[in-house]
Chain A
Amino acid sequence: MDKLNIVLYDDRTTFVPRETVRGRLEWALETNPRYLELSLFWYTSGKGTRDVGVVGTAKFDDPGAHGTKDFSFTLPDGPYSFSGKLISLIWAVELTCHPGSETVRREITVSPTGREIVLGEVASARNPLESILGGRK
């Protein structure tokens, strides 16, 4: 059975903007693929039309049926990972085998706070200005 895997260093799935995502690709396929393609991208999920932004790609030609390969991508300033009731923005690293339909995806969070931004948190705070300023007078 074909197997693709993405291992993120230190099992990290949370990153701040401009940080580098490092990891290792592992593959064990029944036949030699022509190439493997790794993408770093974000996409939206929710009620409306899906939007996608590809931030980086790496192509590995003639990788052989089995192997491993280290990779790294530097994240841009944004957009941040966020979720509301109508839309979520999700970052992911995805490895695809060509030809074939084998794909593996690892979701990551990109945020200056280290957590997905949840829309509505500021609005529901007792004093929105206070929550932005962190209690400063």
Chain B
Amino acid sequence: MRARDNPFSVDRVHAIRFRPLDITFDEILLRLRELNYRTAITGPDGSGKTTLLEDLQPILQRKGLKTRMVFVNDTSPFDAPTCRRLLSELNRDEILLLDGADLIRRAFWSLLKRHTITHASGLVITSHKPGLLPTLIECATSATLLTEIVTALRPEGPGISLDLLDTLYKRHNGNLRDCLRELYDLYAQDA
């Protein structure tokens, strides 16, 4: 199968947005306001933290709030120059949306946390573990959620057995990103 035809290609997977379990988007937004936009989205790898943070950006912008998104990861580390630049550029009317806060060195994190109290109108982060800021939502997955996403990605064609999805879900410890990557490989090899 050509990569462009693979139903589990990254661009198709990215088109699937966050699906909250046991909570609505309105409830998430209400809690976000109650926490004065200083809060953390927590959860394990592949549970939708980054997807939720990305989804919050246009919602906040539609409400007239300014946002600034920063991604911290292996290829975009939060080093001293990055920290200095961010602190100097950040505006008081901006909510900083920071993905990967737990990858930031403790000294930089303390500086950023303190700085954003007075020099930003909010700080919403993602982190694997709770504790950096009050938790907005703890992202979680389920085998049912994986089935829903797989069904959305490939509405036509022969079905993927629930047993296979259940096996994948268990093998990857609930990491939906890794489950979808393995499905990509299965489809790439099959054709």
Contacts and interface: CB of A to CB of B under 8 A. Distances in A.
B11 A87 contact: no
B3 interface: yes
B9 A46 contact: yes
B3 A86 contact: yes
Contacts of A84: 2-3
B188 interface: yes
Interface in A79-94: 83-88, 90
Q: For chain A, which range describes its interface: under 10, 10 to 19, 20 to 34, or 35 or more residues?
A: 10 to 19
Interface string A44-57: 01111110000000
A85 B6 CA distance: 9
B10 A85 contact: no
Nearest to A85: B188
A32 to B, nearest CB: 22
Which 5 pairs across A and B sit closest by C-beta, in order of nearness? Answer: A46-B3, A88-B4, A83-B2, A88-B3, A85-B188
A47 B184 contact: yes
| Interface residue SS majority, chain B | helix
A47 B2 contact: no
Contacts of B10: 45-50
Contacts of A85: 1-3, 188-189
23 contacts: A43-B11, A45-B3, A45-B4, A45-B10, A46-B6, A47-B6, A47-B10, A47-B184, A47-B188, A48-B10, A49-B10, A50-B11, A83-B3, A84-B2, A85-B1, A85-B189, A86-B3, A86-B188, A87-B3, A88-B3, A88-B4, A90-B4, A118-B2
Interface string A23-51: 00000000000000000000101111110
B17 interface: no
Contacts of B185: 47
Interface string B167-191: 0000000000000010011001100
B72 to A, nearest CB: 16
A88 B12 CA distance: 13
A88 B184 contact: no
B188 A45 contact: no
A38 B3 CA distance: 26
Give the most central of A47, A84, A90: most B CB within 10 Å.
A47
A48 B2 CA distance: 14
Nearest to B4: A88
Nearest to B3: A46
Contacts of A118: 2
B182 to A, nearest CB: 11
